[in-house]
């Protein structure tokens, strides 16, 4: 691997470490405090034990326009259980004190603004957050948040879509720290049975522009181990699996104690695929 | 961002194209019924015991509201851009109906997102949209109202962006929508300014309009922005009362925030979650407002006030009985405020109220409140 990623945070170190073993990174997403803080904690631990390389935690927003029904419902459950950004960051603090797995937070812009960008990032950094994704904050408006995040050693991870222009992609690659979050389809989050026709092509396009300066991870619509191996074979440095894990957790709402077993099993299978698919 | 950039570029190209302008003017005149009259509500003025109250009669437009000004403009733009499928959100159903009308006339396929709670409240408009050939998708997420319909339309747009045009109904959302919708609606103010000068020989002392997303108000305000002697009042929905969740007045009671791709005043809780809203008029039932209103308020050019549900119902009855005009419950908020304002203004002066829609759609709601 010729990759020489430009930041030296825990996220890019993780990508480098795995690339050296010809493995790809699996970013595993769960909605924070879904369905309640205790079950979320147990689910997150099961993903880490199942081999998740990076944990991505959602902070719910009432109007999540980038998310499909599965994650929307998870956000609604978390909010009804009383989730707030502060409480979820506290739980992240517990996770980061027990595990070395890098942690990324995904939330929308308004909850961050409501707390104050400075205060949000300081709090997040103290709790061990390593990266942040804000899907409704376009690059053109992002400088302030990015500066504050970087000052608190939090990588600002930008999204790129299949129809993002070359010019914008170049800036996104330039500004992204941690990784570039590649949206592998036209649409919102949610598990799909097959990879979108744009997915592999988009990975190749972004990888060739990134030139190893920042890792590229593909997300949205990825649920199967085969998806993981084909994306990694196409050149992705990592994949993000979200809705399918959230759905697995949601299948056990009547008995949340069951969910960790299934999550760990799913995670193990995804991780196995990454080891085979990485190159 | 890419589709927004493409849209912005197309809008700039066509909005300065004389052929496009002529074509749109033709549709507005022949199909929608422009210009609309500026009508002196003499009985209401006498009753208010103050300034002369003029009504800008957008209620007389095809479809019964100002919405058609925007839907014709955008549908024509979509057609020029080569898009075949149009999606739109709707709250009360007025924008959905106006979209379905414009698209039927222009031969475009239409799908409308509408909160299932709103579909229940506005059943007649659901039938109207279907009769006009549109497909209506119920939205079951969140509060099942307008904001959720916008969320769902945005999700559809990012999924089907290649062949689909998102026809947004108000001066909200990401750029260029607030600018574009304002431009299409500013025909209201251009006419009103010309008409009041012709009828009164001078400018009005105030212009009053209701504010939900803010398209009819920005439409009538825009031509008066440079006339500093003309006061501009936006009337938000005071709902039941001003406690959280009981009204829809982001400019009066909200905080700066980001929703639907715009930074503006938003009704939200301490953690930045969007708050529920309540208003008797579905068209004002939205937790945010067009960003240009926020800007104008911060500059001090416009003032925003609230009127309650019962103020609006009183004004509905008053205008119906005094003038023989049933206003929609949305502009009834503006009528209510204007009659109070008129008392503070001299009889030789005038006030223009934007009567943005007719009240037929609200007869059910009124009847439920007053069974006799």
pLDDT digits (tens, 9 = 90+) for B2-33: 899 999 999 999 999 999 999 999 999 999 99
pLDDT for B238 equals 98
Residues 121-150 of B with CB under 8 A from A: 141-142, 147-148
> Of A275 and B224, which is predicted with more confidence?
B224
| Interface residue B160 vs chain A (CB under 8 A) | yes
| Yes or no, beta carbons of A63 and B274 under 8 Å apart | yes
ipTM: 0.93
- Dump pLDDT digits (tens) for B208-250: 999 999 999 999 999 999 999 999 999 999 999 999 999 999 9
Residue A277 pLDDT class (50, 70, 90 cuts): low
> Catalytic: which of B67, B79, B147, B361?
B67
| pLDDT exceeds 60 at position A185 | yes
Nearest CA in chain B to A67: B155
CATH 3.40.50.1100 positions along chain B are: 2-29+67-181, 33-64+186-369
How many whole angstroms separate alpha carbon B261 and alpha carbon B340?
Answer: 36
- Dump pLDDT digits (tens) for B290-308: 999 999 999 999 999 999 9
| Interface residue B6 vs chain A (CB under 8 A) | no
| Interface residue B245 vs chain A (CB under 8 A) | no
Give the pair of three-digit tokens for residue B308. 């309650």
Residue in the structure block whose two tokens are 């003499």: B42
| Interface residue A253 vs chain B (CB under 8 A) | no
Residue B142 pLDDT class (50, 70, 90 cuts): confident
Tell me the chain B residues in contact with residue A64 when contact means C-beta distances shorter than 8 Å. Answer: 151
pTM of the model: 0.95
- Dump pLDDT digits (tens) for A215-234: 999 999 999 999 999 999 99
Q: Which of B1, B142, B255 sits opposite A63 (nearest CB)?
A: B142
In this structure, the number of other CB atoms found within 10 A of the CB of residue A85 comes to 23
pLDDT for A2 equals 45
Residue in the structure block whose two tokens are 């049975």: A193
CA atoms within 13 A on the CB side of B113: 25
| Yes or no, beta carbons of A136 and B261 under 8 Å apart | yes
Please name the helix (run of DSSP H) or strand (run of DSSP E) that holds residue A217, with its range, or none: strand A216-219
The closest of A22, A23, A29, A81 to A57, measured between CA atoms, is: A29
CA atoms within 13 A on the CB side of A33: 22
Mean pLDDT to the nearest integer, A153-182: 96
| Yes or no, beta carbons of B158 and A63 under 8 Å apart | no
Catalytic residues of A, which ones? 56, 67
What is chain A's mean pLDDT, rounded?
Answer: 94
Mean pLDDT to the nearest integer, B184-195: 98
| Interface residue A206 vs chain B (CB under 8 A) | no
| Interface residue B257 vs chain A (CB under 8 A) | yes
Q: Which of A69, A85, A165 sits opposite B2 (nearest CB)?
A: A165
Instruction: Find the helix packing angle between B2-15 and B18-27, rounded to 10°.
Output: 90
| Yes or no, beta carbons of B271 and A68 under 8 Å apart | no
List for chain B the helix, strand, coil content (%; round to 5).
50, 20, 30
Mean pLDDT to the nearest integer, A235-252: 96
Tell me the chain B residues in contact with residue A61 when contact means C-beta distances shorter than 8 Å. Answer: 272-273
Residues 78-107 of A with CB under 8 A from B: 79, 84-85
| Yes or no, beta carbons of A188 and B260 under 8 Å apart | no
| pLDDT exceeds 50 at position B259 | yes
Nearest CA in chain B to A64: B151
Mean pLDDT to the nearest integer, B251-271: 97
Q: Where does A10-272 sit in CATH, by number?
A: 3.20.20.70
Instruction: Name which of A62, A107, A139, A163 to mutate to probe chain B: the one with the most chain B Cβ atoms within 10 A of its Cβ.
Output: A62
| Yes or no, beta carbons of A186 and B159 under 8 Å apart | yes
pLDDT for B8 equals 97
Residue A266 pLDDT class (50, 70, 90 cuts): very high
pLDDT for A4 equals 57
| Yes or no, beta carbons of B260 and A63 under 8 Å apart | yes
Supply the DSSP symbol for B362.
G
Residue A3 pLDDT class (50, 70, 90 cuts): low
What fold characterizes domain B2-29+67-181?
A: Rossmann fold (3.40.50)
How many whole angstroms separate alpha carbon B309 and alpha carbon B247?
Answer: 9
How many whole angstroms separate alpha carbon B177 and alpha carbon B183?
Answer: 10
- Dump pLDDT digits (tens) for B49-108: 999 999 999 999 999 999 999 999 999 999 999 999 999 999 989 999 999 999 999 999
Mean pLDDT to the nearest integer, A47-60: 98
pLDDT for A88 equals 98
| pLDDT exceeds 80 at position B372 | no
Residue B64, C-beta contacts closer than 8 angstroms, at least 6 positions apart: B94, B328, B357, B358, B360, B361
| pLDDT exceeds 50 at position B313 | yes
For residue A263, the distance in angstroms to the closest alpha carbon of chain B comes to 26
| Interface residue A32 vs chain B (CB under 8 A) | no
| Interface residue A170 vs chain B (CB under 8 A) | no
| pLDDT exceeds 80 at position B371 | no
Q: Is A119 left (phi over 0), alpha (psi -120 to 50) or beta?
A: alpha
CATH 2.40.160.210: does it fit domain B33-64+186-369? no
Tell me the chain A residues in contact with residue B259 when contact means C-beta distances shorter than 8 Å. Answer: 63, 110
| Interface residue A276 vs chain B (CB under 8 A) | no
Number of CB pairs < 8 Å for A and B? 80
| Yes or no, beta carbons of A111 and B272 under 8 Å apart | yes
| Yes or no, beta carbons of B271 and A62 under 8 Å apart | no
| Three-state DSSP class for residue A26 | strand
| Yes or no, beta carbons of B272 and A114 under 8 Å apart | yes
pLDDT for A228 equals 95
| pLDDT exceeds 60 at position B370 | yes
| Yes or no, beta carbons of A84 and B266 under 8 Å apart | no
Taking a C-beta distance cutoff of 8 angstroms, is the pair A214, A10 a contact? no
| Yes or no, beta carbons of A109 and B258 under 8 Å apart | yes
How many whole angstroms separate alpha carbon A17 and alpha carbon A75?
Answer: 33
For residue B122, the distance in angstroms to the closest alpha carbon of chain A comes to 23
| Interface residue A163 vs chain B (CB under 8 A) | yes
Q: Can B356 be counted among the known catalytic residues? A: yes
Domain positions in chain A are 10-272
pLDDT for A1 equals 42
């Amino acid at each position: 691997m010729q990759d020489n990623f430009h930041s030296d945070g825990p996220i890019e170190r993780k990508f480098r470490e795995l690339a050296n073993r010809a493995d790809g990174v699996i970013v595993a997403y769960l909605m924070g405090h879904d369905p309640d803080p205790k079950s979320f904690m147990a689910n997150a631990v099961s993903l880490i034990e199942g081999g998740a390389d990076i944990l991505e935690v959602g902070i719910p927003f009432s109007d999540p326009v980038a998310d499909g029904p599965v994650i929307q419902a998870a956000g609604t459950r978390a909010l009804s259980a009383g989730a707030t950004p502060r409480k979820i960051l506290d739980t992240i603090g517990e996770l980061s004190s027990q595990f070395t797995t890098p942690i990324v937070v995904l939330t929308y812009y308004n909850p961050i603004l409501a707390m104050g960008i400075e205060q949000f990032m300081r709090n997040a950094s103290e709790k061990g957050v390593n990266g942040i994704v804000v899907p409704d904050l376009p690059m053109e408006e992002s400088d302030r948040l990015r500066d504050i995040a970087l000052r608190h050693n939090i990588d600002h991870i930008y999204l790129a879509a299949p129809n993002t222009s070359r010019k914008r992609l170049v800036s996104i690659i330039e500004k992204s720290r941690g990784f570039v979050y590649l949206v592998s389809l036209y649409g919102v989050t949610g598990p799909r049975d097959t990879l979108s026709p744009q997915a592999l092509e988009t990975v190749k396009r972004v990888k060739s522009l990134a030139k190893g300066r920042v890792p590229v991870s593909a997300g949205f619509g990825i649920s199967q181990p085969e998806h993981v191996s084909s994306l990694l074979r196409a050149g992705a440095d990592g994949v993000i699996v979200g809705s399918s894990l959230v759905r697995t957790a949601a299948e056990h709402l009547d008995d949340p104690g069951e969910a960790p077993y299934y999550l760990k099993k799913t995670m193990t299978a995804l991780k196995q695929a990454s080891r085979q698919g990485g190159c | 961002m890419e589709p927004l950039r493409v849209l912005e570029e197309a809008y700039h190209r066509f909005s300065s194209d004389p052929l496009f302008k002529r074509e749109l003017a033709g549709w507005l005149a022949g199909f929608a019924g422009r210009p609309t009259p500026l009508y002196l509500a003499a009985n209401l003025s006498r009753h208010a015991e103050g300034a002369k109250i003029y009504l800008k009669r957008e209620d007389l437009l095809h479809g019964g509201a100002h919405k058609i000004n925007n839907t014709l403009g955008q549908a024509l733009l979509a057609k020029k851009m080569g898009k075949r499928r149009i999606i739109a959100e709707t709250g009360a159903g007025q924008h959905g109906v106006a979209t379905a009308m414009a698209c039927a006339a222009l031969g475009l396929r239409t799908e409308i997102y509408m909160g299932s709670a709103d579909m229940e409240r506005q059943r007649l408009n659901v039938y109207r949209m279907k009769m006009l050939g549109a497909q209506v998708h119920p939205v079951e997420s969140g509060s099942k109202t307008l904001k959720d319909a916008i969320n769902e339309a945005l999700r559809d747009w990012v999924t089907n962006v290649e062949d689909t045009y998102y026809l947004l109904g108000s001066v909200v959302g990401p750029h260029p929508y607030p600018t574009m919708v304002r431009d299409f609606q500013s025909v209201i103010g251009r006419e009103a300014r010309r008409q009041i000068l012709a009828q009164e020989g001078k400018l009005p002392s105030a212009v009053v309009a209701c504010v939900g997303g803010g398209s009819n108000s920005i439409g009538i305000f825009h031509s008066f922005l440079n006339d500093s002697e003309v006061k501009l009042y936006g009337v938000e929905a005071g709902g039941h009362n001003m406690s959280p969740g009981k009204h829809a007045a982001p400019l009066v009671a909200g905080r700066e925030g980001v929703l639907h791709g715009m930074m503006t005043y938003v009704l939200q809780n301490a953690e930045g979650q969007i708050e529920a809203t309540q208003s008797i008029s579905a068209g004002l039932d939205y937790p945010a407002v067009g960003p240009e209103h926020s800007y104008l308020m911060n500059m001090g050019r416009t003032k925003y006030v609230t009127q309650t549900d019962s103020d609006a119902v009183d004004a509905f009855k008053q205008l119906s009985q005094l003038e023989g005009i049933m206003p929609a419950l949305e502009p009834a908020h503006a009528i209510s405020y204007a009659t109070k304002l008129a008392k503070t203004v001299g009889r030789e002066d005038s006030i223009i109220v934007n009567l943005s829609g007719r009240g037929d759609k609200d007869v059910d709601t009124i009847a439920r409140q007053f069974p006799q």
